[in-house]
Amino acid sequence: MMNIRNSIVLSAVATVLVATTGCVNNPDSSGLEYMPDMYRSPAVEAYVDYGQDPYQVGEEVASSQRMVQSARKPVAGTIAFHPEAMDFVMPYPYPNTVEGYEAAGLALASPLTQIGQAEIEAGQEIYTLMCTQCHGEEGKGNGALSRNGHIQGIPSYSDKLKDLPEGKMYHTLTYGKGLMGSHASQLSQKDRWLVIEYIKVLQQGGEMPEFDENGNVVKSASTEAGDAMAMNN
């Protein structure tokens, strides 16, 4: 019969095999790599929070460093500096309240100076990628989330929101309103104003205005409204 030494050798071999294949198949391990400190280096990189080298500073220090996010908010009170686009980096003056919303609707106007084909098409692209799942392709409030019954009753731009002023739109995009959350973290101030240009087109039924060869709007109701706004200020 099999003697004891043989079975010990066998089980040792089995354990080693199990252990090695085990770690190769573990979905939480990315597999063998050489120079692992190049993949997880102590240098600060966005989305990589590995801290300093645990061999040098000790596991305790390293793991506490891992708990600190490397992606930081800008220092409070600072403003990004873009010499050619200072209109789009200023802090938003209206507070996140009902009164702030009404006030923005009355006084806030788009800082975009030139509104032509390029701007409206840029707005359309942002709208198609970021807003259609709720508001729908034509802005009627029938995006996929609404059709699937997750968020219902999203107002239509060309109906309930036909006369919504751009200041209120901007306020809503910045702070959110009701079920629509704030999109300030996803859209820069300029992007927000660009997409509003396209919403104005949707308010008129969704037909693109005519452009001349330089990409200027030939005639459309929304630019007239915009001019009136600008004059009020």
Partner 1 sequence: MIADLGFKATKSFLTACLVLFAVQGTAGIWDDGNIEEGQALFNANCASCHKVTNEVLAAPGLAGIADRWGASEELLVQWIQNPQGAAESGDSYIKSLVSRYVPTYGWMTAQAVSAEDVKNIMAYVQNPPDAAPVADSGSDCITVDELPIEEANNDSGVWFVMLLVLFLIIAMAAAGVNRSLTNASREKDGGALLEDLPYGQRVKMWAWENRVAVSLIGVFIVAYGAVLGYQGLMRVGVVEGYKPNQPIQFIHSVHVCENEVDCKYCHHSAYESKHAGIPSTNVCMNCHKAVKKGRRYGETEIGKIYEAIGFDATSGTYVDGEGKNGYASPQDTYDGDPIRWNKVHNLPDHVFFSHQQHVVVGGLQCQNCHGDVETYTVGRVAKVEDINQLVDKYPGLIELSKPTLTMGWCIECHNKAEIDLASSGYYEEIHHRLKDHLRGNEELRMYMEDDKITVKELGGWECAKCHY
Q: How far is the CB of 99 from partner 1 (least distance, A)?
A: 10
User: Radius of gyration (Cα) for the chain, nearest Å?
Assistant: 28
CA 224 and chain centroid, separation? 31
DSSP letters spanning 115-167? -BHHHHHHHHHHHHHHTHHHH-TTSSS--HHHHTTSS--PPPTTTTTTT--HH
In the complex, which residues of this chain contact partner 1 (CB under 8 A)? Answer: 1-3, 6-7, 10, 13-14, 17-18, 21-22, 24-28, 30-35, 38-41, 43, 45-48, 69, 76, 96, 98, 101, 128-130, 132-133, 143-145, 147-155, 160, 174-187
Q: Binding of ligand HEC at residue 165 (CB under 6 A)?
A: no
In the complex, the smallest distance separating the C-beta of residue 144 from ligand HEC, rounded to whole angstroms, is 8
For position 130 contacting ligand HEC by CB under 6 A, the verdict is: yes
Q: Using CB under 6 A, which residues numbered 177 to 196 contact ligand HEC?
A: 177-180, 183, 187, 195
Shortest separation between residue 26's beta carbon and partner 1, angstroms: 6
DSSP 65-115: HHTS-SS-PPPTT-----GGGGGGTSPP-S-SSHHHHHHHHHH--------
CB atoms within 10 A of CB 124: 18
> Restricting to residues 8-67, which ones interact with ligand HEC according to CB under 6 A?
47
**Applying CB under 6 A, which residues contact ligand HEC?**
47, 130-131, 133-135, 145, 150-151, 154-155, 161, 164, 168-169, 172-173, 177-180, 183, 187, 195, 199
